[in-house]
Chain A
Amino acid sequence: MDTPTTPFRNIVKPFWEAGRCLLFFFLMLTGLRLEGSQWRSVLQQIYLVGARSLVIIMICGFFVGMVLSLQAVNSLEQFGAQDQVGLLVGKSIFRELGPVLTALLFAGRAGTSITAEIGLMKATNQIEAMHLMAIDPVHRIALPRFVAGVISVPLLTAIFSAMAILGSVIFSIGVMGLDTGIFWSKLQTSVHFHQDLMQGVLKSFVFGGTVSLVAVYFGYDSKPTGAGVGTATTNTVVLSSVLILIFDFIITSFLT
Chain B
Amino acid sequence: MIKLDFEHRQAGHCESGVTSNLLNYHGFKISEPMVFGIGAGLFFSYLPFLKMQHAPITSFRVWPGKIFERVTKELDIKKEIHHFRNPKDSMDMLDKILMKGLPVGLQVGTFHLTFFPPEYRMHYNMHNMVVYGKENDHYFVSDTLMEFPVTISYPDLMKVRFAKGTFAPKGMMYFPMYVPAQVDLKPLIIKGIRETANNMVGIPFPIIGVRGIRYLAGRMRNWQKRFGDEKASYYLGQVLRMEEEVGTAGAGFRFIYGAFLHEAAEILQQDWINEISIEMGENANKWREFSYLGSRNCKKRAKPEQSYDFLADILLECADREEKIFRKLIKIK
User: Are A and B associated in one complex?
Assistant: no
